[in-house]
Amino acid sequence: CSVDKANVLETSVLWRKVVSKYFAEHAPDVELSHMYVDNAAMQLARDPNQFDVLFTENMFGDILSDEMGVICGSLGMLASASLGATVNRLDLPFGLYEPSGGTAPDIAGLGVANPCAQILSAALMLRYSFGENEAASAIETAVRTAVTGGSRTGDIAFGKPAISTEAMGEAILKVLP
């Protein structure tokens, strides 16, 4: 779903035209829909599972990713991939992979940061820029297994005992095949 505000922003009118043309030429098998950002925010809160992918520009993406952080429990769980049009020697896109929540400098060095988003960002890198789908899936499964098994940093502990950044990383490594 392409998210914009074409009903009031001229830049969004252009966004919608460019996105529609690009998908028609380069991804004709992908079902493309368009949604205004305010409706997308409401739809995310109402039923986030209705979306496979949200495709939007930076400002709207930043706002919607913060909303998704609340929906999934924490920004510390949200990985991000910004994929470029240029491809590498594997004919896969170059990308910038990072946690959606940024660097969290206010808690740097305290041992309380959730490393899951960074680890999941590495999984995205393996999948999209290196074509290593099995390795990416193994990492994603290890994170899921560790979290559902009770290993949680403070941001996702929800009143239960919290573990440190290092302990969270170790819990993920322990279940990584």
Q: What is the residue range of 2's domain? A: 1-72
The total number of structural domains that make up the chain: 2
Residues 116 and 170 in one domain: yes
pLDDT over 90 (residue 64) = yes
Residues 51 and 66 in one domain: yes
pLDDT by residue (tens digit) across 87-140? 899 999 999 999 987 778 899 999 999 999 999 999 999 999 999 999 999 999
pLDDT by residue (tens digit) across 27-48? 999 999 999 999 999 999 999 9
pLDDT band at 50 (very low <50, low <70, confident <90, very high): very high
| Exposure letters 69-100 (e unless 16+ CB within 10 A, then b) | beeebbbbbbbbbeeeeeeeeeeeeebebbbb
Task: Give the separation between CA 77 and CA 85, rounded to whole angstroms.
Answer: 26
Residues 91 and 42 in one domain: no
Residues 45 and 96 in one domain: no
Mean pLDDT computed over every residue of the chain: 94
Residues 14 and 34 in one domain: yes
- Residue 11, phi-psi category: left (phi > 0), alpha (psi -120 to 50), beta (remainder): alpha
Kindly report which listed range (16-20, 66-70, 129-133, 141-145) carries the lowest average pLDDT score: 66-70
pLDDT by residue (tens digit) across 161-171? 999 999 999 99
Among residues 72, 101, 135, the one where a domain terminates is: 72
Write down the pLDDT at residue 56.
94
pLDDT band at 2 (very low <50, low <70, confident <90, very high): very high
Mean pLDDT of 78-84: 90
Residues 33 and 114 in one domain: no
Which tokens belong to 85?
């049009």
pLDDT by residue (tens digit) across 102-111? 778 899 999 9
Residues 64 and 91 in one domain: no
pLDDT over 90 (residue 69) = no
Among residues 33, 48, 72, the one where a domain terminates is: 72
